[in-house]
A = this chain, B = another copy of it.
Amino acid sequence: MRAEEQVQKSEKREAILQAALELVAENGLQHTPMSMISKRSRASAGIIYHYFESKDDLLASLYQRIKREMSRAIAARYDPQQPLVKRFQSLWLSMFHYALAHPKEMVFLEQYESIPGVKQHEGVKTLQDMAEDWQRKNPFGAENDLEAQVLHGLVRDLSAQDLLKDLPLEVIGEFTMGVALRLARQSAAGLVKLDEAALNNVARACWDAIAR
């Protein structure tokens, strides 16, 4: 019964996280009480506090998990063998497609990061954050580093070849991840329709913005 318990325990925890994700995406952070998470996940009100210290802890755990999985997925698709410019394009498309495929997660990120005093944890937006995380071995573990390393490395390589304009890292982040995630959210919400051709154009526009 060892293995089964292991599985069951994760399943309850998983159900809670999943319910929180869905409900926050549907109703927003403010309108997602614990009782609702409890109902949707079919977990009792009490047991949630066995898995998480508090609502804040539950939300933070979910946030970390989403960030980690997104990093992993994007890093996994990254091929350092490709030519530099091509690498940028495919990284941009990776981000866009990941965001498009995970609309609930994207809404959650936006909700969570809009809490004042939380963005400090670690934002998606600034490359500098990632660079710093990288340098100070950030506490969230090696998984997040994958994406950070990829991006930071790519920017460094492009800089080394003098292919980039002289722009602050944050600005570059805004023109790449920022624009990609925002447009993906709009796509997911049906506010924009972008086919594969249009997408390549947009990726190209991003490149034009930052390329020397």
Contacts and interface: CB of A to CB of B under 8 A. Distances in A.
Q: How many copies does the complex hold?
A: 4
Contacts of A29: 30
A26 interface: yes
A138 to B, nearest CB: 17
A64 B31 CA distance: 23
Contacts of A202: 167, 171
18 contacts: A26-B116, A27-B116, A30-B30, A110-B114, A125-B182, A126-B186, A165-B201, A166-B201, A168-B194, A170-B186, A171-B194, A171-B198, A175-B179, A175-B205, A179-B179, A206-B209, A208-B208, A209-B209
A28 B28 CA distance: 14
A158 interface: no
A89 to B, nearest CB: 14
Contact of A171 (B126, B205, B210): B205
A54 B201 CA distance: 45
A174 interface: yes
Contacts of A191: 126, 170
A10 interface: no
Contact of A116 (B107, B167, B171): B107
| Chain A: interface size category | 35 or more
Contacts of A30: 29-30, 115
Contact of A209 (B125, B166, B205): B205
Interface in A138-178: 165-168, 170-171, 174-175, 178
A28 B114 contact: yes
Contact of A201 (B117, B167, B170, B205): B167
Contacts of A126: 186, 191-192
A20 interface: no
Contacts of A37: none
